[in-house]
Chains A and B, each alone.
Chain A
């Protein structure tokens, strides 16, 4: 064990090293409202918290179990709808459950659905599994409009989260109270999902992902492992959905649909499926992008799509993968050899991005704004969207950026090769 090194040293130090990340996460989660006081910031933070649970639960499938699901929002949505129904029943006066525990209702409800759907869909893996999950997702999303008494039809179902019974002194009238509730459940879910990766089940899920043929030979039932993993992942998705219901007090059929499923897939993948903390990064970045970019530009979905495609093409391990690749370089104190290369590549990359951005914004202005002839603004410059100069500049920027980016990437690759050689020598 790692702790052996500290046997004679400071025990507090070893504890800090072991649990430092968790203590840090808790301090950040509960300390942020002290810095972010605006209601906009708080609702953003609440959304980030929910997204983190949802993305981590999705990674239990994709990252840890190797199951690519296109219907994970089913459990998120069902958890949310169950929660809002439970809240309405409690408000009816017949069920005294404190609000703090209500997300669990969503979670365990989703767990039940997860056991059933998981047992059905995990008999096969790979593309077949992906297709079944897509089918179940579409099935539930389409039936949402057919069963209005549970899903509320077009206008959805709303509830009032200010219940009479609470465990704490919070009344949940204000966003900050709700944020603390979300932060609490987020930390609890994070800890449990991390601990699950350390259990035999978590290890078996990895084994099933990597070699589903060999796992049965050592005596484990692949289908059962997948089902349990799937059901547990639904549990956490349901908790996230429950928190969503408490946060917004309204749920519509959209929460359960394909767009939400695609969203969590992109979040998790952008963050990185190979490391436990990847989806957290993805959830933070994507939620932040969604909220802040959608205020700035109408084209944000396109930028989001471009980011996702870039990740799939060039960084299949996501942000977490990019970070972890640099860890050994950092430890070998060789970062200074890489930084000039990165700095050099960043300039044409920015030029390229600027060109693409101008082109996208011009087109959006022409096709979607109320008056395409009105002058448009970018970076404080006013110009006519139909002017050939603007088009010319953007195309020149794209070409120049692309050509120089290719060159700088080549030099960057060369310095990477050098570093790998040096590190290999160091290891020998």
Chain B
């Protein structure tokens, strides 16, 4: 059977499964809709968080990005996993003890202020829309590359599916659908990696294969008998040097920038509302702790495989293209040329493909081959000559990753509108069924807007992803942290801190991305910190502002300090008001 047929069959089967699960687990109450009636077992919650977390970008683009960045790519790897350690120890158990439905609601109760609820819900909506735009586009891209339908048709199919299960099922439907989507995406990601690791090193575990020696079969596949018995990473380092590039395992970016980006991604992760709300869905506080552990385990399966794919794919790609005559180019290269992801421009008219330092479309570089980062995951199974059904899996996996993340984000937007804005502020006496209606309507409208972003992508989508993490890091992270760990943190401090954090980060990113892009390089940045890493500085400013303003304004009322006290202890035990701080 052809790749196209396999892709349609596997995608069709996975979609049927999602629809069945969504129907079987549809929400009946607002508790169901926002928090799945707090009845999700921790292992399943961990899988749902994993699917929620791993987006189209993690699945399709990350390994390719890393293959170009070498060791520097580790800010994605550590940054997008290390935040879970913070979540487990600093947030999850306390948010679960609080036990309500949304992050803006927590902010409003803890900082006894409806203004902070409005600020938080605007922040949550902005961060989530920024993120979801890329997901719907990702759905369209996967459809068009693997199934031969237009990007827009793909987006509409994706919209219809998400519309169905998000409005019907709410958090409950989404959670159980995400469990299935996690299974689909991780299988789709691991199977090609295991095959390739076996072929090159004889070791079926890609995480170990990447640090192993190349087998006889691997050397034959690379058409280079001299590589047999050498460590794969050494071979790749030599390849890079021959091309005039830096060694793969070495770092090029200034360390201070790598440090700040990693920190920004970690605390941004811990401040993202669509992940934080997950800890409201489990039955007990100890389940909130352990579900972070399961989540990180499931995420780590993909995040430790990605750098292995990066190493295998890059070695394989360069070896099968560099210094090869274009007429002898492998069939996958010609197939993917149609998508524009790879391209050969014969600058010196010798008919031989040359990979070198610099850009393929600049005349001053010898490089003649365009390599889009996405090709490393999308074409990897074909490059490694894997069976057609494995290639077909990639499409289903990419769709699972994009759809599951989109659904989780849409739910945050819907809850911010129905629960925080309508029920919380505008019409507090609204009945539960009216609120549920608002939740579904808001989810529906949000899906349509997200779909429109996917069909007409604003040119700045790639630029504003830095916004999502930067804002989460500079706004929610410090306020929630202080909200739990400092009883004296007050509303004036939190308000001021959030404003300072948000304005600083927004100004810094806007300046370098929109106002003066020419200065967006390490000489233009403050202390060499790129816009991607500035969230760390925003968070520090937020902490300092909160502390200083808190010193000069009244401390929180006693009942708020008691609430904070009670967050710190599981079970029924609540400390009396004399418990101090």
| Chain B binds chain A | no
